[in-house]
């Protein structure tokens, strides 16, 4: 079998801010194969976006500093590659949907022009992106690119899509702008797609349509996706795998069924209890007690220990390593029994 | 029921078509003859699919957008007829949390400046000294799960969810009576979402606030709101008590939305 599409190992990242260096990624391990959709979940500020941005090498250094670890894309360590090569990979092979739609659309250009540019750039690497012969004239290519742009806008659920290609970003609603970014990322035909909260501003029906589109893209083009979200419902319906992050660590990971049916880590269990259900009475929703730790001087040992209902003195001694608690299902908690994972898995 | 604090009467909004190089852009009718009354002290939920006109409606309530037809009344007064001075006073009492926490925070302002700005703008009403403003900002930050240590930081140093909480703190700064919340929790993870929802409930009970809560998350709306209106393509399709709509939806749209709720396996209680 070919090597994995993406393999992150022991990634440590610090961010220098006003009051010191915050250890925001504290040994991330994550492997993504083609055909897999990985959900990356966890509380606000736990490092999901920084993990995604690291893969695209879009975290500014400084203030960021990579302390150790590697991010291998088809075997090549992105942290070691010259920036020029990373940039070509980013345009061509690694696609990104940003959490922040407004700043990533150029307000001065029409929606259609921005999509056409992406389609033409993608077609220069892979002619099959456009539905026209490779030796077509520029004019024909442009026309094909515009057709593709209209189709893609339609597939992300923009009503009357073709007539709206000439709108500017500010003439679209919040959710529509978010969908323009999704269309843009899919037109680029990446091998690895990092989607950071792609459906947060969308209602359930549009969300369902987008998630189906993402799943369809994985099936049709055998790509890998990392879907960053805080919505466990979305993960349950879309992802094949899930990794749960807490304060810069992945505390639990595995096939989605496994993790959701049998959450092993106390943090994952607490997260699931915080979702409002039909029975929730007003004002009684269980948030997690306490708050996310300060990452400049994080608590010793397991970073979740100060908030953990099961914590014992031993928890503060060392960062727990991942143990196998089910098939390919890992949890990093000393209160969970399982088999020790060899460190070179 | 108490008297309405906000009345939206037959409001329509059309964005005109434009001529372009390739032809014409479509004309968009963002709101069609919408009538809603929101009462003092209630939580009114506004649910509708993306692009259905929810943000347009809140922008109209704030008078940032002029309706093409109809009128909007705050405590019985027509917004379109208020003098600029009255409109300014009104803005201390009606605050909004915008949908997009990125675009709505000025990157050059520290968190302290962001949260204290409304107190400065409405200094004539609030009359807080500089130290009082800073104290209040610190208090508001802890209310939303951040802390005084964040006062001197800048927006780019925060994650998406943290920025949304700064926006909520800012919206509460002028002591508003009516809060328009445009998807305030969609950028938040479930744990912070739970904190923010509980916070909103608590503030409402304590301060008697009125909420217009826009969301596409029906579970959240059901949790927080006592009444709901559903809009579809700019039109009001159903309105009523939350329980009634969830238990016996009348419109096909309501049934579709409720059917599409990601109930999912996650909903099982985890002990
Ligand atoms: N430029 C920066 N300077 C200092 N700290 C930063 C910077 N960018 C991010 N951080 C910090 O790094 C941590 C991780 O941020 P990240 O954006 O990855 O969170 P996230 O998991 O994506 O959260 P959310 O769900 O709210 O988007 C946060 O605590 C954040 O405050
Ligand atoms: N300035 C504008 N010019 C032209 N059309 C506009 C403008 N602002 C909004 N629209 C259109 O009006 C419709 C309603 O937009 P609005 O922002 O109110 O939707 P929304 O219900 O808030 O959606 P979302 O949930 O995606 O934020 C959309 O079709 C949008 O494209
Ligand atoms: Mg993020
Ligand atoms: Mg909106």
Which residues share a beta bridge with B78? B73
Residue A242: the pLDDT is: 97
Residue A345: the pLDDT is: 38
Arithmetic mean of pLDDT, A12-38 = 91
pLDDT-based confidence at residue A153 (cuts at 50, 70, 90):
very high
CA distance A183 to B58: 27
Residue nearest to atom 27 of ligand 2 (CA): A174
Compute the half-sphere exposure of residue B21: CA atoms within 13 Å on the CB side of its CA: 6
Q: What one-character DSSP code corresponds to residue A264?
A: -
Residue B127: the pLDDT is: 84
* Higher-pLDDT residue of B17, A71: A71
Closest CA to B172 of B137, B134, B223, B212: B137
* Most confident listed range (A67-81, A176-190, B218-232): A67-81
pLDDT at A216 over 70: yes
Residue A283: the pLDDT is: 62
CB A123 within 8 A of CB A141: yes
* pLDDT, tens digit (0-9, with 9 covering 90-100), for A303-318: 999 988 888 999 999 9
Closest CA to A235 of B99, B195, B190, B163: B190
Q: Do B223 and A286 touch (CB under 8 A)?
A: no
pLDDT at B185 over 80: no
Burial annotation A297-321 (CB, 10 A radius, 16+ → b, else e): ebeebbbbbbbbeebeeebeeeebe
Task: Give the pairing type, strands A329-331 and A339-340.
Answer: unpaired
Residue A273: the pLDDT is: 78
Q: What one-character DSSP code corresponds to residue B155?
A: G
- Which of B51, B142, B144 is best to mutate for the A interface (most A CBs within 10 A)? B51
Residue A296: the pLDDT is: 86
Q: Residue written as tokens 């291998």?
A: A72
* pLDDT, tens digit (0-9, with 9 covering 90-100), for B250-262: 988 888 877 766 5
Average pLDDT, chain B: 84
pLDDT-based confidence at residue B266 (cuts at 50, 70, 90):
very low
CB B199 within 8 A of CB B17: no
Arithmetic mean of pLDDT, B135-163 = 86
Mean pLDDT is lowest, of A5-14, B27-36, B193-202, for B193-202
pLDDT at B132 over 70: yes
Q: Give me the helices (H) in chain A, please.
A: 48-55, 83-92, 111-125, 138-155, 174-187, 204-221, 232-238, 256-261, 266-273
What phi and psi, each to the nearest 5 degrees, are found at residue A175? -70, -30
Largest Cα–Cα separation, chain B:
61
Burial of A70 (0-12, 13-18, 19+ CB in 10 A): middle
pLDDT-based confidence at residue B161 (cuts at 50, 70, 90):
confident
pLDDT-based confidence at residue B265 (cuts at 50, 70, 90):
very low
Contacts of B24 in chain A (CB under 8 A): 163
Q: State pTM to two decimals.
A: 0.82
CA distance A190 to A250: 25
pLDDT at B16 over 90: no
Mean pLDDT is lowest, of A43-47, A149-153, A301-305, for A43-47
Residue B160 has its nearest CB partner, among A49, A260, A280, at A49
Contacts of B193 (CB under 8 A, 6+ apart): A230, A274, B185, B220
Residue A116: the pLDDT is: 94
CA A293 to chain centre: 22
- Which of B24, B141, B191 is best to mutate for the A interface (most A CBs within 10 A)? B191
CA distance B54 to B46: 7
How many angstroms separate the alpha carbon of residue B191 from the centre of ligand 3? 15
pLDDT-based confidence at residue B246 (cuts at 50, 70, 90):
confident
CA distance B43 to B34: 18
Burial of A245 (0-12, 13-18, 19+ CB in 10 A): buried
Residue B138: the pLDDT is: 94
What phi and psi, each to the nearest 5 degrees, are found at residue B47? -120, 140
pLDDT at A291 over 90: no
pLDDT-based confidence at residue B11 (cuts at 50, 70, 90):
very high
Q: Do B160 and A206 touch (CB under 8 A)?
A: no
Average pLDDT, chain A: 87
pLDDT at B18 over 80: no
Share of chain A above pLDDT 90, in %: 47
* 3-class secondary structure, A115: helix
């Amino acid at each position: 079998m070919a090597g994995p599409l993406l393999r992150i190992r022991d990634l440590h990242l610090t961010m220098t801010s006003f009051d010191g260096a915050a250890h925001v990624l504290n040994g991330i391990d994550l492997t993504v194969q083609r055909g897999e959709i990985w959900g990356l979940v966890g509380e606000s500020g736990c490092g999901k976006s920084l993990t995604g941005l690291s893969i695209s090498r879009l975290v500014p250094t400084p203030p960021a500093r990579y302390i150790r670890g590697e991010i291998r894309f088809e075997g090549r360590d992105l942290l070691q590659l010259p920036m020029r090569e990373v940039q070509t990979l980013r345009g061509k092979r690694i696609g990104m949907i940003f959490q922040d739609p407004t700043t990533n659309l150029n307000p001065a250009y029409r929606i259609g022009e921005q999509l056409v540019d992406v389609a033409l750039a993608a077609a220069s690497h892979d002619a099959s992106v456009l539905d026209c012969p490779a030796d077509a004239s520029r004019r024909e290519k442009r026309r094909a690119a515009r057709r593709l742009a209209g189709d893609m806008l339609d597939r992300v659920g923009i009503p009357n899509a073709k007539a709206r290609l000439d709108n500017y970003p500010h003439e679209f609603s919040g959710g529509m702008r978010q969908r323009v970014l999704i269309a843009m990322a899919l037109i680029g035909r990446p091998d690895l797609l990092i989607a950071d909260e792609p459906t947060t501003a969308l209602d359930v029906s549009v969300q369902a349509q987008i998630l189906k589109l993402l799943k369809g893209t994985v099936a049709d083009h055998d790509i890998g996706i990392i879907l960053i979200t805080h919505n466990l419902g979305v993960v349950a319906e879309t992802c094949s795998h899930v990794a749960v992050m807490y304060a810069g660590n992945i505390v639990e990971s595995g096939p989605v069924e496994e993790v959701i049916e049998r959450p092993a880590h106390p943090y994952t269990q607490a997260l699931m209890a915080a979702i409002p259900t039909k029975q929730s009475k007003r004002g009684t929703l269980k948030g997690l007690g306490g708050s996310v730790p300060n990452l400049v001087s994080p608590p010793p040992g397991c970073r979740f220990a100060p908030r953990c209902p099961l914590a014992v003195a031993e928890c503060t001694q060392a960062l727990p390593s991942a143990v196998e608690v089910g098939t390919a299902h890992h949890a990093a908690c000393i209160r969970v029994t399982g088999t020790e994972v060899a460190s070179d898995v | 029921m108490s008297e309405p604090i906000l009345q939206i009467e037959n409001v329509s909004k059309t964005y005109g078509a434009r001529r372009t190089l390739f032809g014409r852009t479509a004309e968009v009718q963002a709101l069609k003859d919408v009538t809603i009354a929101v009462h003092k002290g209630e939580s009114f939920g506004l649910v509708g699919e993306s692009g259905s006109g929810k943000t347009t409606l809140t922008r109209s309530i704030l008078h940032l957008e002029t309706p093409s037809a109809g009128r909007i009344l705050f405590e019985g007064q027509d917004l379109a007829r208020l003098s600029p001075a009255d409109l300014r006073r009104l803005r201390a009492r009606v605050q909004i949390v915008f949908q997009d926490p990125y675009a709505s925070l000025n990157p050059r302002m520290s968190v302290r400046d962001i949260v204290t700005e409304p107190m400065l703008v409405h200094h004539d009403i609030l009359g807080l000294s500089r130290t009082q403003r800073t104290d209040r900002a610190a208090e508001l930050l802890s209310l939303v799960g951040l802390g005084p240590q964040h006062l001197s930081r800048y927006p780019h140093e925060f994650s998406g969810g943290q920025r949304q909480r700064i926006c909520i703190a800012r919206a509460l700064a002028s002591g508003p009576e009516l809060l328009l919340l445009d998807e305030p929790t969609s950028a938040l993870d479930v744990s912070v979402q739970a904190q923010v929802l509980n916070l909103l409930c608590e503030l409402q009970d304590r301060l008697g606030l009125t909420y217009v809560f826009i969301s596409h998350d029906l579970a959240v709306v059901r949790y927080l709101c006592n009444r709901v209106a559903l809009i579809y393509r700019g039109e009001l399709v159903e309105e009523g008590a939350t329980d009634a709509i969830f238990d016996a939806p009348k419109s096909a749209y309501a049934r579709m939305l409720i059917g599409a709720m990601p109930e999912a396996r996650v909903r099982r209680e985890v002990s």
